[in-house]
Amino acid sequence: NAGVTQTPKFRILKIGQSMTLQCTQDMNHNYMYWYRQDPGMGLKLIYYSVGAGITDKGEVPNGYNVSRSTTEDFPLRLELAAPSQTSVYFCASSYSPALADYEQYFGPGTRLTVT
């Protein structure tokens, strides 16, 4: 059971380039999330998904897009990268938040630098 995996681990982008951050989970979780963590700060929600084909915006969605064609995968797309998107990106997944022992499982993160 690999849990939540993210690729790549590190990436440097030039301003204006695009890229996709990959996230895969093998726990059959319906809920998936993308967060960003800026230096010295807590995590902020970018997008989330409650199941295949269903996504919605979080707190900081500008400059990003997501899709959810399968239960396992939840890629995050950066279009026209900007220095303000330099951050560490975390993907997480969970069962339904209605469960009392609800827990989000996090991937190892992707460190992205835009120069």
Partner 1 sequence: AQTVTQSQPEMSVQEAETVTLSCTYDTSESDYYLFWYKQPPSRQMILVIRQEAYKQQNATENRFSVNFQKAAKSFSLKISDSQLGDAAMYFCAYRMANAGGTSYGKLTFGQGTILTVHP
Integer-rounded Cα Rg, in Å, for the chain is: 13
Residue 61 engages partner 1 in binding (rule: CB under 8 A): no
In the bound complex, what is the minimum distance in angstroms from residue 109's beta carbon to partner 1?
Answer: 5
CA angle 101, 102, 103 (to 5 degrees): 115
| Distance in angstroms (rounded) separating the CA atoms of residues 73 and 67 | 9
Q: Which has the closest alpha carbon to 45: 82, 96, 91?
A: 91
Nearest residue to 24 (alpha-carbon basis) of 40, 1, 55, 56: 1
Among 20, 58, 67, 82, binds partner 1 (CB under 8 A): 58
Residues 83-112 that bind partner 1 (CB under 8 A): 88, 90, 92, 94, 96-98, 100, 102-104, 106, 108-109, 111
Number of residues forming the site for partner 1 (CB under 8 A): 27
Contact code string over 15-54 relative to partner 1, x by CB under 8 A: ----------------x-x------xxxxxx--x-x----
